[in-house]
Structure 1
């Protein structure tokens, strides 16, 4: 039995989490919401402290090295295994490494039906949202607003600055021809 995956790619504070929660309410079945933040929270703190790990720069930049890539690849394969076992999964990610991130997800997910959704938000709006959050480094949202979309191929793109998450979730459901939650 194969499940299904919806990948939401967007910069920090673009509205991915709010949209993912709206999708969970809108779509039939029990969709798990997993994201790169899930991975970072689950990772040992030393992965953020070592060379080759994940570095969150004070200017909002993000760099990752080979140690983080190994852990991330394992995590991607684990998420793919959930979907391959019949799970319904919404992935929240920000492809800071560009098209290679999408390629790695494609490889991990294999034949699992996957929808690629670009979650856009103008840099100024994302920066304003970022200021309202205590868990973000200032500058990250503006840096990622456009860069995470370069070279990425989507089934659908949405703009969370002009339409609310519930309406977008309905549009995604219709676009993917999925059932509505009871």
Structure 2
């Protein structure tokens, strides 16, 4: 399989964005890195305060409403269109709905060759990263560490609390090569 899309799913501060950047440097083709954070950042402020959009509770719980879901569906459809047009994509996402979130992606992707990667991180490690970043609600990393993986099927899983992001990216690249039948260099 010649993958067109790599979906990195993991909780907040698990290392998805760092892995995505490492993949961009490592893979021979040009891969665009796009994150659900890009979608949230592009939304009007009124939709990032809860209600029908997306809300962040003081304990780190993230709630999404129908307006967010509609925008996310449009975003996913747009990303799939980019892949169908020939762009290679690394998608950094947080499957708040676990397996249901993956099913939304599967329905949109159809026959687009996709590699599903679970990015795991020990909740305590993710919480330390979250605190060091200073741009996340405290508790989000620990709250999401396991829930985002429930019911999700992966081609490969990596753990950034046990390996550096660059090593995780190398494992993903090796998986891509082996699924294509390429020899390792």
Normalising by the smaller structure, the TM-score range is over 0.9
Instruction: Describe the superposition over 1:143-170 as per-residue Cα deviations: whole angstroms up to 9, x where unpaired.
Output: 0111111111000000011111112111
Distance 1:121 1:50, change over 3 A: closer
User: What does 1:99-178 align with in structure 2 at a 5 Å threshold?
Assistant: 99-177=99-177
Instruction: Describe the superposition over 1:105-158 as per-residue Cα deviations: whole angstroms up to 9, x where unpaired.
Output: 111111110000000001010001111012100000000111111111000000
Structure 2 unmatched ranges of 5 or more: none
Secondary structure (helix, strand or coil) at the match of 1:117 reads strand
2:45 is aligned with 1:45? yes
Instruction: Describe the superposition over 1:26-57 as per-residue Cα deviations: whole angstroms up to 9, x where unpaired.
Output: 00111111111010011111112362211111
Secondary structure (helix, strand or coil) at the match of 2:89 reads strand
Distance 1:25 1:50 in 2: 36
Distance 1:50 1:159, change over 3 A: closer
Moved over 6 A (4+): none
Structure 1 unmatched ranges of 5 or more: none
TM-score by length of 2: 0.92
The 8 Å contact of residues 3 and 85 in structure 1, kept in 2 or not, is answered as no
Give the aligned partner of residue 7 of structure 1: 7
CA RMSD of aligned residues (A): 1.6
TM-score by length of 1: 0.94
Distance 1:50 1:161, change over 3 A: closer
Give the aligned partner of residue 19 of structure 2: 19
Distance 1:121 1:50 in 2: 27
